[in-house]
Amino acid sequence: MGRARKLFGTRVVAAASVAALTLVAGCSGGGDSDGKTEDGKTVITMGLFGVMGIKETGLLEKYMEENPDVVIKAEIAGDEQTYYTALQTRLAAGSGLKDIQGIEVGRAKELADTRADRFADLSGVPDTDHFLPWKQSQVTTGDGRVIGLGTDIGPMAVCYRKDMFEEAGLPADREEVAALWDGDWSKYVEVGKDFKKNFKGDAAYLDSASGLFNAMIYGSSEQFYDKSGKLIYQDNPAIKDAWELATGAARDGLTAKLRQFQPGWDPGLANSSFATTVCPAWMLAHISEKAGEANKGKWDVAKAPKGANWGGSFLGVMENSPVKEEAKKLVAWLTAPEQQEHIFKEIGNFPSSAKALESPAVTGAESEYFNNAPIGEVFGAAAQDIPDEQVLGPKDGTIKDTFSQGLQLVEQGKSPAEAWETTDERIRKAVD
Amino acid sequence: MATSTPASGLGGPQSGPAGPTKESPDDRKGARPRRPWSTLLHRFDIKAAPYAFVAPFFVVFGAFSLYPLLYTAWISLHDVELATMDIMEWEGFGNYSQLWQDDRFWNALANTFTIGVISTVPQLLMALGLAHLLNYKLKGSAFFRVAALTPYATSIGAAALVFTMLFERDFGMINWFLSLFGVDNVDWESSKWPAQFAISSIVIWRWTGYNALLYLAAMQAIPQERYEAAAIDGASRWQQFTKVTVPGIRSTIVFTIVLSTIGATQLFGEPLIFGQGPNGVSGGADNQYQTLGLLLYEEGWKNYEMGRAATVAWAMFLLLILAFVLQRVVKRVKSRTS
């Protein structure tokens, strides 16, 4: 009996240890597929985030129909931050990666600098010379490797409330509105002062100071870093100007003190808390959804003082993928002008392909919600206006968020000098 | 017992003739070599089996608690970025001395403490009162007990999200309610005390019922005779509560205090969701409600500095140990003086 108990005990221990070991092994083991299904089809896996429009608009089904020997499995993470954290750990571990991985522009530089060897070089892929010149330069490493192909971009315009402009005695026609601030963001703020003086309701002129700040800095080719990778935000005149103008607007009470995409902003859209917001092309879908049917036709889109780009993504192929060549082919197809046009028509993500930008389907596009604004023309012009070189830095995203918080401090009543000091100190701690 | 094994025949019979007085020591001597095999197995069984039975827990504990704990300590001595976890640069205690000099750490520590106090103290007092009420004979007492526990059963995410909407500046329900009394819109998120108060209210709402049920269970274990005796001595209701009930559930109160203190030190989900987006990670634009948990998260998953994040994690661990040691010392000093 004692023996039986002992044996039982040993078995339990053994079983438990095995179970625990398998658990541990399960964590570290690579989940990479061997690239084939049982019936010999090629399997390509994709890791995407947010609404990139690739799966949502049925492009993957279309590709599989045209290529019956290919099966595509796409996994989409809702939140880019979560997605990128997972991607980083997988890159470090060298396992669990998909064949194709999406890259957000804010991460492009960091990946190109630190992980270029994990990505296949796409510079030689045929028919990929149709992109805007600055788009591909963002994912090109120093030695000429291209780690991704561009999907969309975010040229910016100003979305404004036609009805509120009329009430404030300002011109409401989009051509005339654009002329009010043509070429200079400080004119945009001047219009805001007029608006505040003459508008009777309690809506603010713009939603947040950081929206204005971002629009201004993204219109210059260097923001926080220079080409050699040195931090220059402290002396960069583009940053200084944007900071001064944005904090000035905040001090003058022109902002609704909201945070874009955070609680308060959506109800602000629905309840008309502000009259303008600087909007990249991809924001229109969000505005029309959140502002709702009740505000249809009240919104309009005017050209921004200067062209600028906010956001956009890329698709990269992993160097170790067993189906690297097939994946390259798929990425080239997904980012081809025809497919970019298709995504633009379906959900409004703006093409990064210069060729797609010229097509009548894009140039002639109008938005019914925004008072039939010719969005293809407005954003297309903004896209041409974006500086040909866009210098990125490894911590762009973090620095941008820190500046947004610095501007919030000013909106909450801190002096711009004090807020600048806090921001500067925080950035130095974050990047060192 | 000896007969059950074949080896028993070896010594016994030969030692037999040596006389009755010597028989037993001889027998013992002769039996000694075979004893290990038979009884050692048995003794090993008795001694080792309990360990074998608890081993699964410790295997899991080792893999998922001890190893991460030690690995975190190892990481905290290095400069490591999340993107390049394989490249570790030795820093020694550099991260620790940097943390010691960092305003953000002291700010986060102070916030953790203040939010901890304003959420734990009212929470436990309210739980005590609630348990006392639930201890009366009530109609539908089962309903009230379940109702008290429901907040505990909701996820932090859902609760914090709903509270965030309630505390929203322009269109939140709480500001609407306050406006009925002529109070201007409070910007809960951006000012320090309102934000900390709002976060505490989430914690209080979630945990009061749970603690109340713990107290209730302890209260029901107090013998009725004590109350009767107290009543005969002329103790009022309030005196019965303070002199009989509270001492009777003392150990449970200590237990809940320990649990809530640990919970308060690790406060993370509520402020993260309350802040939403970048402000959640940094605990407000001015770090006005950044807790130690959030500072860890900011270092690790916003700045991607794993070494510094691991340092914060260890600082939190050491703080808990420090609190524990202090509590022991105070207890010992107290018992010596009394």
Nearest one of A393, A208, A404, A374 to A303, comparing CA atoms: A374
Q: Could you tell me the two tokens for B191?
A: 């000012």
User: Cβ contacts (< 8 Å) between B277 and chain A: which residues?
Assistant: 259, 261-262
- Which residues 90-119 of B have a C-beta within 8 angstroms of A? 102, 104
- Chain A residue with CA closest to B168: the answer is A264
Nearest CA-CA distance, residue B35 and chain A, Å: 15
Q: Any idea what the Cα angle at residue A370 is, between residues A369 and A374, rounded to 5°?
A: 115
pLDDT given for residue A137 in this prediction: 87
For A25-78, what is each residue's pLDDT tens digit?
333 333 345 677 767 889 999 999 988 889 989 999 999 999 999 999 999 987
Q: Write down the pTM of the prediction.
A: 0.80
The whole-angstrom separation of Cα A257 and Cα A16 is 56
Q: Which residues contact B101 (CB under 8 A, 6 or more apart)?
A: none
Architecture of the CATH domain B102-337: Orthogonal Bundle (1.10)
Q: Is the pLDDT of residue A4 over 70?
A: no
Task: Give the CA distances from residue A90 to residues A16, A51, A98, in Å, rounded to whole numbers and listed in that order.
Answer: 28, 22, 10
State how far residue B12 is from chain A, nearest Cα, in angstroms. 25
- Residue range A150-171: mean pLDDT, rounded: 95
Residue type, A296: K
Q: What is the pLDDT of residue A13?
A: 41
Residue B9 confidence (pLDDT) above 80: no
Specify the DSSP element, H or E, that contains A316: strand A309-317
Task: Please give the average per-residue pLDDT across A90-109, as a whole number.
Answer: 90
- In one letter, which amino acid is B60? V
DSSP helix/strand/coil, A373: strand
- Is pLDDT of B10 > 80? no
CB contact B168 to A (< 8 Å)? yes
pLDDT of residue B33: 54
Q: Do B56 and A13 touch (CB under 8 A)?
A: yes
Locus of tokens 């997904």: A334
CB A374 within 8 A of CB A387: no
Name chain A contacts of B104, Cβ cutoff 8 Å: 429
The pLDDT of residue B23: 46
- Count Cβ–Cβ pairs < 8 Å, chain A vs chain B: 112
The per-residue pLDDT for range A171-204, each reduced to its tens digit, is: 999 999 999 999 899 999 999 999 999 999 889 9
Identity of the amino acid at A97? L
- On the question of pLDDT at A325 being above 70, the answer is yes
C-alpha–C-alpha distance, residues B307 and B95, integer Å: 7
Q: What is the pLDDT of residue A285?
A: 86
Q: How close does chain A come to B203, measured CA to CA in Å?
A: 20
Cβ-defined contact of B49 to A9 (cutoff 8 Å)? yes
* CB < 8 Å to B165, chain A: 263
Chain A partners within 8 Å of B86 (Cβ): 92
**ipTM higher than threshold 0.90:** no
Smallest Cβ distance to B83: which of A92, A257, A401? A92
Structure tokens at A21: 């070991």
Q: In chain B, what percentage of residues exceed pLDDT 70?
A: 89
How confident is the model over B184-204, as pLDDT tens digits?
Answer: 889 999 899 999 999 999 999
CB distance A45 to A75 below 8 Å:
yes
Cβ atoms within 10 Å of B125's Cβ, excluding its own: 12
User: Which residues are bridge partners to A300 per DSSP?
Assistant: A160
Inter-chain CB proximity A429 and B286 less than 8 Å:
no
Residue A204 · residue A252 · CB < 8 Å: no
Residue with the two structure tokens 């309990």: B50
- Which is nearest to A239 in space by CA: A104, A382, A400? A400
Q: What are the residue boundaries of the structural domains of chain B, listed by start?
A: 2-76, 102-337
Q: What is the pLDDT of residue B124?
A: 96
> How far from A152 is each of A282, A343, A357, A362, A382, CA to CA, in Å?
9, 9, 11, 13, 14
Range with lowest mean pLDDT among B53-62, B70-79, B133-142, B258-267: B133-142
What span, in angstroms and rounded, lies between the C-alpha atoms of A170 and A177? 8
Question: Which amino acid makes up residue A155?
Answer: P
B278 Cα to chain A: minimum distance (Å): 7
Chain B residue nearest residue A267, CA to CA? B171
Strand ranges in chain B using DSSP code E only, listed in sequence order = 78-81, 84-90
- Among B63, B104, B277, select the one facing A24 at the smallest CB separation: B63
Minimum Cα–Cα distance from A25: chain B residue: B63
Task: With a cut of 60, say whether residue A6 has pLDDT above it.
Answer: no
How many Å lie between the alpha carbon of B34 and the closest alpha carbon of chain A?
A: 17
Q: What is the pLDDT of residue A34?
A: 64
The answer to whether the CB atoms of B164 and A6 lie below 8 A apart is no
Reported as a pLDDT band with limits 50, 70 and 90, residue A88 is: confident
Q: Chain B contacts of A406, Cβ < 8 Å?
A: 285
pLDDT above 90 covers what percent of chain A?
A: 65
Residue A16 scores a pLDDT above 60: no
B276: left (phi over 0), alpha (psi -120 to 50) or beta: left
Strand partners, A73: A45
The answer to whether B196 and B114 have CB atoms below 8 angstroms apart is yes
| pLDDT tens digit sequence for B14-46 | 444 444 444 444 444 444 555 667 788 888 888
Is the Cβ–Cβ distance between A322 and A45 less than 8 Å? no
pLDDT band at residue A157, thresholds of 50, 70 and 90?
Answer: very high
Query: pLDDT category, A23, cuts 50, 70, 90?
Result: very low
What sign results for the dihedral spanned by CA atoms B72, B78, B83, B86?
negative
Provide the sign of the torsion angle of the four alpha carbons A341, A345, A351, A356, taken in this order.
Answer: positive
Q: What is the pLDDT of residues A273-308, one digit of tens each?
A: 999 999 999 899 889 989 999 999 999 999 999 989
- Please report the pLDDT score of residue A326 as a whole number: 93
**Segment A214-262, tens digit of pLDDT:** 999 999 989 999 988 899 999 999 999 999 999 999 999 999 999 888 8
Cβ pair B52:A10 closer than 8 A: yes
- Report whether A107 contacts A84 (CB < 8 A): yes
Q: Which residue has 């190893």 as its token pair?
A: B67
Position with higher pLDDT, A10 vs B42: B42
Structure confidence at residue B127 (pLDDT) = 96
Predicted confidence (pLDDT) at residue B216 exceeds the cutoff of 60: yes
Q: What is the percent of chain A where pLDDT is above 70?
A: 91
Q: Which residues of A are less than 8 Å from B169 in CB distance?
A: 264
At A19 the pLDDT is: 44
Interface contact flag, A6 B84, Cβ < 8 Å: no
Can you say whether residue A301 is alpha, beta or left, with left for phi > 0 and alpha for psi between -120 and 50 degrees? beta
| B84 CB within 8 Å of a chain A CB | yes
Distance separating alpha carbons of residues B163 and B167, to the nearest angstrom: 6
Q: Is B303 helix (H, G, I), strand (E, B) or coil?
A: coil
Give me chain B's average pLDDT, please.
Answer: 87
pLDDT bracket for residue B87 (50, 70, 90): confident
Token reading at A432:
């060192």
Interface touch B45/A406, C-beta < 8 Å: no
Angle between helices A209-217 and A185-198 (to 10 degrees): 160
Nearest to B170 among A85, A264, A401 (CB): A264
Measured between beta carbons, the chain A residues lying within 8 angstroms of B41 are: 2-3, 6
> Do A115 and B83 lie within an 8 Å CB cutoff?
yes
Q: What percent of chain B has pLDDT over 90?
A: 63
Picking from A220, A410, A235, the residue whose alpha carbon sits closest to that of residue A308 is A220
Question: Which has the higher per-residue pLDDT, A366 or A39?
Answer: A366
Q: What is the DSSP letter of A36?
A: B
pLDDT in tens, B268-321: 999 999 998 888 899 999 999 999 999 999 999 888 899 999 999 999 999 989
Query: Which B residues 287-306 touch A at CB under 8 Å?
Result: 301-304
Spatial distance between the Cα atoms of B325 and A165, rounded to a whole number of angstroms: 66
CA dihedral sign of residues A54, A57, A61, A66: negative
* Contact map slice: B 43-82 vs A, CB within 8 A: 44-46, 48-49, 52-53, 55-56, 59-60, 63, 82
Which domains are present in chain A? 42-153+312-361 (3.40.190.10), 154-310+377-431 (3.40.190.10)
pLDDT at B32: 52
- Reference A313, options A113, A46, A50; nearest CA is A50
Shortest alpha-carbon distance between residue B151 and chain A (Å): 23
* Two structure tokens written together for B19: 């006389």
- B240-245 long-range contacts (CB < 8 A, ≥24 apart) are B241/B132, B245/B132, B245/B219
